[in-house]
Amino acid sequence: MAAHRRAAVLGSPIAHSLSPRLHNAAYRALGLADWSYDRFEIDEDALPGFLDGLGPEWAGLSLTMPLKRAVIPLLDEITDTAASVEAVNTVVFRPDGRRVGDNTDIPGLVAALHERGVEKAESAAILGAGATASSALAALARICTGEVAVYVRSERRAAEMRQWGERLGVRVRPADWADAARAFEAPLVVSTTPAGGTDALAEQVPERVGTLFDVLYEPWPTPLAAAWEERGGQVLSGLDLLVHQAVFQFRQFTGDSRSPLAAMREAAQRD
């Protein structure tokens, strides 16, 4: 009988996470009966002890806030993708005991856009400048051939995004949040703000729009996403990102090259 293998998502708060639903659905769909995926409420202070207490049955971890940067000093290695944004959302435990950190949000965002036919963009815009915005910028570095306008609320945030642009090889143009509605002129818009952050902009969506990737999924649709769809624009949600990045995690944890995308999406959409 095969040994039981484990994975889990860590963060604080964590009760809302859909990751256990997605990964366990993937295990069932692909016949991995000896695998299970859980969630644990863990903050920065508890993280070192939690990692040190894991046994050989553990294959990997998914990390959400506030652990994506806190985990880095506790790892033996991080991938170039994770290093590019100084954020780890995936930890893989190698057979030799090494802890390797990766970031699947970046390829997940790209894969979600590719699925909807967005493989290249002449320009793009990002709303917000937090940790998710840096991952979005790294993803856009792979598909955007021109300038990325980033709408922010402070000069400090503008400076940070300029630095990320230089690091990632992207032409970044910081812009004042007061002019955020101008972002909608871009063929691809990525909204990375917390819930409610773009509600006031919904009434300013023009008649002709391109693609909106709103990384929220609860509550859904956001007023901005609803207004965008009313104009006939293409909309992706945080669920698209969640599912696609989880596929990359599943493959790294299990070593199984099959794609559980359909099973994960069905699980994500289930009430």
The residue annotated as part of the active site, out of 6, 68, 99, 157, is 68
Q: Which residues pair with 26 in a beta bridge?
A: none
**Tokens representing 119?**
């493989």
Kindly write down the DSSP assignment for every residue of 187-209, as one continuous string.
SEEEE-PPTTTTGGGGGG--SS-
Tokens 């101008």 locate to 182
Strands 99-102 and 90-93: what pairing?
Answer: antiparallel
To the query of whether residue 120 is one of the catalytic residues in this protein, the response is: no
Q: Which ranges constitute the DSSP H helices of the chain?
A: 19-29, 47-52, 80-85, 105-115, 131-143, 155-168, 223-230, 238-254, 261-269
Complete edge-to-edge strand list for the sheet that includes strand 99-102 = 35-41, 5-11, 58-63, 90-93, 99-102, 77-78
Active site residues: 68
